[in-house]
Amino acid sequence: MIRFATIHDVPEIQRIVNSHAELGKMLFKSYAELYENLRAFAVFERDGKVVGCVALGLIWADLAEVRSLAVDDNYRGQGIGKALVQWCIADARRLEIRKLMSLTYEKTFFEKLGFKVVEKDTLPLKVWSDCVKCPKNDNCDEIAMVHELADVKVIDAPNAHPTPKGLSIRVLQGMTSA
Ligand SMILES: CC(C)(COP(=O)(O)OP(=O)(O)OC[C@H]1O[C@@H](n2cnc3c(N)ncnc32)[C@H](O)[C@@H]1OP(=O)(O)O)[C@@H](O)C(=O)NCCC(=O)NCCS
C-alpha cells in the first residue's frame, strides 16, 4: 500500500534512505530535511511496516523530480520501487506537471519506467541546489533521466535557465555565499 507519509514515518524513512546513503547511492537526510519536505513524501507500507519511500519535488511549472527513492534492502526486487515511481507519475499528472526527472545510478530501473537519459546541462540550474551537500561535489557521476507525460498539456511557463556549460559546484557555492 502506498500512502502519503505522516510525521510518524520519519524515523523509518531516515533509516531506509541513510542505509543506502552509507553506500554512496543517495544523499543522507537529516530529520530537519525530512520534516521540512514531508508533504512531498509517500511511503510503501507492508504488514504495517514502512519498507520504501519516495518524494516528488517541484522544480518548475513543467518539471518535478523523483527524490529520495529508497526500498528497504530486505524488500528489493518485489516491485516496490516501481510502484513508488508510478505514484510519483500519478502525482505529477494530478498536479498537471508534464515532465519528471531523476538523477540516478539506476539507469535500467528508470528506463523500464519510461525515463530517458538526457544531457545534464539541459536541466535547469535549480536542480543542482542539493549538490553543495554531496561529497562528490563537482565530480557528479549520476545519470540525468527524464520522463515526459504526453497526455499532460504543455504549459506556457517562463523559461527556467538551463545549467551553464561546464558548471562547477564551486560556482554554486560562490552564489550561495554571496
Ligand atoms: C532502485 C530501487 C529503488 C529499486 O527498487 P526495487 O523495489 O528493488 O525495484 P522493483 O522491484 O520495483 O524493480 C522494477 C523493475 O526494475 C528492475 N530493476 C530494479 N533494480 C534494478 C537494477 N539495479 N538494475 C536493473 N534492473 C533493475 C527489476 O528487475 C524490475 O524489472 P521488471 O519490471 O522487468 O520485473 C532500490 O533498489 C533501491 O532502493 N536502491 C537503493 C537506493 C537507490 O539507488 N535509489 C534510487 C535513487 S534515484
Beta carbon of 25 within 6 Å of any ligand 1 atom: yes
Measured between alpha carbons, how far is 34 from 48 in angstroms, rounded to an integer?
Answer: 21
CA distance 140 to 138: 5
pLDDT per residue as tens digits for the range 69-121: 999 999 999 999 999 999 999 999 999 999 999 999 999 999 999 999 999 88
Per-residue pLDDT tens for 25-47? Answer: 999 999 999 999 999 999 999 99
For the Cβ of 112 lying below 6 angstroms from any atom of ligand 1, the answer is yes
Which pLDDT belongs to residue 90?
98
Please tell me the distance from the alpha carbon of residue 122 to that of residue 60, in angstroms, as a whole number.
14
Q: Is 79:98 a contact under the CB 8 Å cutoff?
A: no
How does strand 49-60 pair with strand 41-46? antiparallel
Ligand 1 mean position, distance from CA 109 (Å) = 5
For residue 54, the model assigns a pLDDT of: 98
User: Is 155 in a helix, a strand, or coil?
Assistant: coil
Q: Residue 175 pLDDT > 50, yes or no?
A: no
Nearest CA to ligand 1 atom 19: 109
Instruction: Please provide the distance, in angstroms rounded to a whole number, between the alpha carbons at the two ends of the chain.
Output: 45
Cell readout for 51 is 519498507
Over the chain, what is the mean pLDDT? 89
- Identify the residue whose C-alpha is closest to ligand 1 atom 35: 79
Whether 177 shows a pLDDT value over 50: the answer reads no
Tell me: the pLDDT tens digits for 113-149? 999 999 988 888 777 777 777 777 677 788 999 999 9
User: Using a 6 Å cutoff on CB, does residue 68 contact ligand 1?
Assistant: no
- Mean pLDDT, residues 151-157 taken together: 91
Cα dihedral angle (92, 40, 4, 7), rounded to 10 degrees? 180
pTM of the predicted structure, to 2 decimals:
0.90
Let me know: does 65 contact 102? Beta carbons within 8 Å: yes
